[in-house]
């Protein structure tokens, strides 16, 4: 039987794999046959992710993405140790709510480094890793609907995700001759442990309002993982430079 979503024989690195959506992506890709390299900062939680993956060929690769100048060296060492990578998923991300008058350059820089700047240098290293053959690969950045619509107080987060989508479009054009596809997945609110914790502080009306903003209800982490797997797979071989909005209808209103 043909499975166009199969990732057998593909080696994929996932940032943000120690938690939430990145972890769910790692689990799902392993079920589709990929060898997964799980990255994040927290080693215990990376090991926890690894223990939930199907198969035993997976590894962890702890790294702090604030160290943008070191990304190339770190990535090269992974390629040397584990072999050529076929996919890159950048799911690591941070978010804070802060009104304009409290914005500070340092906080701005920290968020941009993790969410956006690191994406550029991860893509650069990924391109280098695939130069020896013409087989290309696929890069997926996890954006957010907040890169297209927004809410008060999340200006820097929104900016970081809009920029990520612009970055993906330009890289898609630049890397197409190398057969490297670059796209984004933009989720709305997803039930992650983080959101569950946040919702515990809300009253019933606030929770109902959030759910009602999604015509199909809140998303599950698996909904994002499905879309990422599709974009990594050969089923998406003619798709690049897009943002796949996975939002239960949030932005259709």
CB of 2 to ligand NAP, least distance (A): 31
Assigned token pair, 24: 């769910």
One residue of 36, 78, 92, 112 binding ligand NAP per CB under 6 A: 92
Q: Which residues contact 118 (CB under 8 A, 6 or more apart)?
A: 15, 65, 68, 71, 90, 92
Residue 198 binds ligand NAP (CB under 6 A): no
Element (H, E) at 112: helix 105-112
Residue 248 binds ligand NAP (CB under 6 A): no
Residue 93 binds ligand NAP (CB under 6 A): yes
Count of residues that bind ligand NAP according to CB under 6 A? 28
Of 43 and 173, which CB lies nearer to ligand NAP in the complex structure? 43
8 Å CB contact between 153 and 97: yes
Letter string b/e over residues 154-174, b meaning 16 or more CB atoms within 10 A of that residue's CB: bbbbbbbbbbbbebbbebbee
How far, in Å, are 122, 128, 180 from residue 134 at the CA level? 19, 12, 9
One residue of 16, 87, 137, 248 binding ligand NAP per CB under 6 A: 16
Looking only at residues 103 through 162 of this chain, which bind ligand NAP when binding is defined by CB under 6 A?
114, 142, 144
157 noted as active-site residue: yes
Residue 18 binds ligand NAP (CB under 6 A): yes
Residue 210 binds ligand NAP (CB under 6 A): no
Total count of residues recorded for the chain: 253
Where does this chain bind ligand NAP (CB under 6 A)?
15-16, 18-22, 40-42, 45, 64-66, 91-95, 114, 142, 144, 187, 189-190, 192, 194-195
- Please list the active-site residues: 157
């Amino acid at each position: 039987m043909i499975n166009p979503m199969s990732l057998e024989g593909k080696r994929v690195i996932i940032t943000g794999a120690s938690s939430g959506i990145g972890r769910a992506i790692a689990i799902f890709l392993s079920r589709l046959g990929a060898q997964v390299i799980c990255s994040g900062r927290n080693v215990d939680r990376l090991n926890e992710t690894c223990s939930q993956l199907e198969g035993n060929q997976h590894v962890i690769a702890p790294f702090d993405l604030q160290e943008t100048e070191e990304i190339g060296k770190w990535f090269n060492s992974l390629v040397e140790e584990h072999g050529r990578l076929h996919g890159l998923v950048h799911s690591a991300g941070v978010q804070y709510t802060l009104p304009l008058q409290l914005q500070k350059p340092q906080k701005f820089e920290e968020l941009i480094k993790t969410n956006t700047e690191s994406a550029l240098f991860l893509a650069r290293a990924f391109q280098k890793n695939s130069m020896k053959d013409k087989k290309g690969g696929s890069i997926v950045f996890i954006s957010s609907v907040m890169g297209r619509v927004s809410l008060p107080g999340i200006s820097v987060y929104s900016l970081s995700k809009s920029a990520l989508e612009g970055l993906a479009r330009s890289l898609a054009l630049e890397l197409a001759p190398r057969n490297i596809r670059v796209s984004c997945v933009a989720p709305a609110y997803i039930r992650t442990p983080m959101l569950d914790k946040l919702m515990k502080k809300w009253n019933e009306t606030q929770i109902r309002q959030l759910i009602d903003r999604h015509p199909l209800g809140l998303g599950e982490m698996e909904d994002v993982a499905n879309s990422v797997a599709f974009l990594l797979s050969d089923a998406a071989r003619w798709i690049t430079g897009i943002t796949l909005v996975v939002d239960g209808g949030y932005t259709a209103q």
